[in-house]
Amino acid sequence: MGLGTLLAILWLVRLAGNEGIPPPKVEGLGLVIVLSAVIGSKLLTALDYPGYYSGDWSQLWQQVLDRGGVFYGGLLLALGTSALYFWLTGLPGWKVADGVAPGLALAQGIARIGCSWPAAVGAPQQIFRSA
């Protein structure tokens, strides 16, 4: 998942440079998207499954790091924070969104393959069955 995210941000920075958009602003957008996606996925998981993170409160932080999240929670919060970032920095929203879309698909595809990798599951399987 980290590799896909890195490649998506690098792809967006390259496209932004070709369009005359300042790369540092786009790198900042990448950071905003990553952080808000992680927070949003964890928040929606906690809202959808109230007992998911319950139990020993001293272990809450470890549980949050060990467990996954809901994709749509990350997507929704990332969209909202990205729109706010566009407004604050003056980036052209639709032009940058056109650059984000292929990177998002690339990151999602790499993450899907990574989740299906036999070493991650612990059992031999057909790698492209779920990708």
- What is the mean pLDDT of each successive set of 10 residues along the chain, which is 131 residues long? 80 86 90 90 80 63 70 90 94 86 82 66 55 49
d(CA 91, CA 96): 7
The answer as to whether 131 is a domain residue is no
**Is residue 128 in some structural domain?**
no
Domain count of the fold of the chain:
1
Q: What is the pLDDT of residue 42?
A: 83
Residue 71 pLDDT:
81
Structure tokens at 91: 């980036």
Q: What is the pLDDT of residue 85?
A: 94
At residue 75, what are phi and psi to the nearest 5 degrees?
-65, -45
Instruction: Based on DSSP, count helices (H) and strands (E) in the chain, helices before strands.
Output: 6, 0
- The pTM assigned to this predicted structure is 0.73
Q: Is the residue at 127 inside a domain? A: no
Helix or strand run (H / E) with residue 113: helix 93-116
Residue 129 located in a structural domain = no
Is 38 within a domain? yes
Q: Residue 128: its pLDDT value, please?
A: 54
pLDDT of the residue at 102: 84
Q: Which domain, by its residues, includes 21?
A: 2-121
Task: Tell me which H or E stretch contains 40.
Answer: helix 23-48
126 domain residue, yes or no: no
**Residues with Cβ < 8 Å from 110, sequence gap 6 or more?**
1, 3, 4, 7
**Per-residue b or e along 99-109, where b marks 16 or more CB atoms closer than 10 Å to that residue's CB:** bbeebbeebee
